């Protein structure tokens, strides 16, 4: 299936330039990965040029096969015990004071990789004591102990993306479960109410307005105070096609709806991704509290 032509508002600069090159070289020399590159994020030029990136730990191969995601699927390698230190060193060299860390889904590991998240938070804190850390975590297959391991590391923000509406889970995220992800968000707020919870979804996959509204309500009622909403873009011919390109005005409308529902901060726009301008969103959220 051919990839659809993008409308004018979705044209973006391709990854290149000196700052982009410096960050890309640092990441590869450090034997690290970023979700920016592995997931083919459209903001990679902008974010790398601003010397920011989202680290993808335990990567770059995922044990799941979500139909929207460009991250490679396949047998992953064993976690590298030196990786947390390398993430911390790279973050320090980049001058980061807000470090966003995510991972591939590691259903092959007994704790789903929760321990590696905790170790990476600790390593970053040791290397950059004034850094804030945001974690974007997988669902750990609903394992409450794994979630506690991550929460005990006391990240400054905990993010878990719901990704799409309930009806589309079987076609978009066949190995995930909508209610399991919602339950994870609820547990975050029950166990650690002081850690801001964040979630997000893509639109343009065929969902209805009512389904988007219900999903936002579910996330809000689960206790999330930060929302991200962006356009789904088809990474390759093998991935799900875009059903609709949502115009920027409609994203603004959803931002207002989200704020009216009770989210303290909502980023909504064609290029919004869960870590896009994460530091700014966190700062604005705290002003609203
Ligand atoms: S939006 Fe997030 S994933 Fe995309 S390039 Fe920026 S930091 Fe990376």
CATH of the domain at 75: 3.20.20.70
Q: How far apart are CA 24 and CA 232, in angstroms?
A: 24
> Does residue 4 lie within any of the structural domains?
no
Number of domains in the chain: 1
Cβ distance 165 to 201 under 8 Å? yes
Q: Is the residue at 5 inside a domain?
A: no
Whether residue 178 is contained in a domain is answered as yes
Residue 6 lies in a domain: no
d(CA 99, CA 278): 9
Mean pLDDT of 261-288: 95
Q: Per-residue confidence at 1, pLDDT binned at 50, 70, 90?
A: low
In a domain, 3, yes or no: no
Query: Would 8 be classed as within a structural domain?
Result: no
Q: Per-residue pLDDT for 17 more than 90?
A: no
Distance 9 CA to ligand 1 centre (A): 18
Residue 43 lies in a domain: yes
Lookup result for tokens 């999903």: 215
Q: Ligand 1 centroid vs 273 CA: distance in angstroms? A: 7
On whether residue 39 sits in a domain, the answer given is yes
Per the structure, the complete domain to which residue 226 belongs is given by 14-288
The token duo for 278 is 């994460």
User: Is pLDDT at 257 greater than 90 in this prediction?
Assistant: yes
Residue from 41, 57, 135, 202 to probe ligand 1 pocket by mutation (most atoms less than 8 Å from CB): 41
Å from CA of 41 to ligand 1 middle = 6
* DSSP string for 184-253: HHHHHHHH-TTSPEEEEEEE-SS--HHHHHHHHHHHHHTT--EEEEEE----STTSPPPS-PPPHHHHHH
Q: What is the pLDDT of residues 90-115, one digit of tens each?
A: 999 999 999 999 999 999 999 999 99
């Amino acid at each position: 299936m051919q990839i659809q032509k993008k409308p004018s508002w979705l044209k973006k600069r391709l990854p290149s330039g000196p700052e982009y090159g410096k960050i890309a070289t640092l990441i590869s020399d450090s034997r690290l990965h970023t979700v920016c590159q592995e997931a083919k994020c459209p903001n990679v030029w902008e974010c790398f040029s601003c010397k920011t990136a989202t680290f993808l730990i335990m990567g770059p191969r995922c044990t799941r096969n979500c139909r929207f995601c460009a991250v490679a699927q396949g047998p992953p390698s064993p976690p590298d015990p030196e990786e947390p230190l390398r993430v911390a060193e790279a973050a320090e060299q980049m001058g980061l004071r807000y470090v966003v860390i995510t991972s591939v889904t590691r259903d092959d590991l007994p704790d789903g990789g929760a321990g590696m998240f905790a170790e990476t938070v600790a390593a970053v804190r040791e290397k950059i004591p004034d850094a804030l850390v945001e974690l974007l975590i997988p669902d750990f297959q609903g394992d409450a102990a794994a979630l506690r391991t991550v929460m005990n590391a006391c990240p400054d923000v905990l993010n878990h993306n719901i990704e799409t509406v309930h009806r589309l889970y079987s076609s978009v995220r066949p190995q995930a479960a909508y209610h399991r992800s919602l339950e994870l968000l609820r547990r975050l707020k029950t166990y650690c109410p002081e850690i801001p919870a964040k979630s997000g979804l893509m639109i343009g996959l065929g969902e209805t307005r009512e389904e988007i509204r219900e999903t936002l309500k579910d996330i809000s009622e689960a206790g999330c105070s930060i929302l991200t909403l962006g356009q789904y873009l088809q990474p390759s011919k093998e991935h799900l096609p875009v059903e609709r390109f949502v115009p920027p005005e409609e994203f603004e409308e959803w931002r207002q709806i989200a704020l009216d529902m009770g989210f303290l901060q909502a980023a909504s726009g064609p290029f919004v991704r869960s870590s896009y301008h994460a530091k700014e969103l966190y700062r604005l959220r705290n002003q609203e509290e």
